[in-house]
Amino acid sequence: MPKSPATKARSKRAGSQLTPGAIIDASLRIAARGSEDAFTVRRLGEELGADPTAIYRHFRDKDELLLSVADHMLGEALDAIPDGLDWKARLRALADASLAVALKYPVVGSAMASRTTRRSNEFRVVELILGAVLEAGLEGSEAAVHYRMIGDTLLAYVGQQAAFLLFDADARAADNSAWNREYRLVDPQRFPHITGLSGELAEVTDEQIFDATVEALISTVEKRAAAHRGV
């Protein structure tokens, strides 16, 4: 496809037709390769067939590029959420889609865990969460605080999972097997609870943890809304 006649005009001078969109697309392709391909300015230049420093004509620095890529990812997550869901199902769908997109592009997912893109798709996410907590029955500053609780917790958790994917295979394996190694060998006198639950601890899955966290956020909103109605 890159060699078809239709694209000839765009490449008459190799790599000289850079646009912000083309740079973001190339960034997403590199990010999707996870830890196998470092997301560097030089690698990005290669992917674009241009000089590594050409991107500085379109983005102030790498951070601004990352924010734009992250906002693109939020858009991808939002587009995966179907219409017509009630507030709980909307929050669950947002959580699942956010995790999926962060694991798909882990370099960006982890780098953006403590940032705000302040771009259009982030506005859509905020509007979605606010709509959910308002539908649940929260109002005013209580709605605002609980939106932040949900947004920050989701972002942090999802970024944490993405960052873990970026460690080299050895470090990941060591962390994953810790429950079956270091935690099995712990002194039963000093750590009776760890010893007593070592089997159950080794069997907990990432899905169980994520589900429990999301349900904790949802049921907290529900509980606050019920308390509010009771007043």
Binding stretches for a second copy (CB under 8 A): 63, 110, 113-116, 118, 123, 126-127, 130-131, 134, 140-141, 143-149, 152-153, 155-157, 159-161, 163-164, 167, 171, 174-175, 178, 182-183, 186, 190-194, 197, 200-201, 203-204, 208-209, 212-213, 215-217, 219-220, 223
21 or 196: whose CB is closer to a second copy?
196
Shortest Cβ 109–DNA spacing (Å): 16
- Asked if 144 and 127 touch (Cβ cutoff 8 Å), the reply is no
Shortest Cβ 1–DNA spacing (Å): 21
49 or 75: whose CB is closer to DNA?
49
Identify how many contiguous H helices and E strands the chain contains and give both numbers: 11, 0
**69, 72, 77, 81 alpha-carbon torsion, rounded to 10°:** 170
Shortest Cβ 215–a second copy spacing (Å): 7
d(C-alpha 138, C-alpha 222), whole Å: 9
Q: Which does 215 bind (CB under 5 to 8 A by kind): DNA, a second copy, none?
A: a second copy
67 or 73: whose CB is closer to a second copy?
67
Residue ranges in contact with DNA by CB under 7 A: 14-18, 38-43, 50-54, 56-58, 61-63
Q: Which residue has the tokens 């590199």?
A: 30
Give the residue among 40, 38, 63, 42 at the shortest CA–CA distance from 52.
Answer: 42
Helices (H), 49-139: 62-79, 87-104, 106-111, 120-136
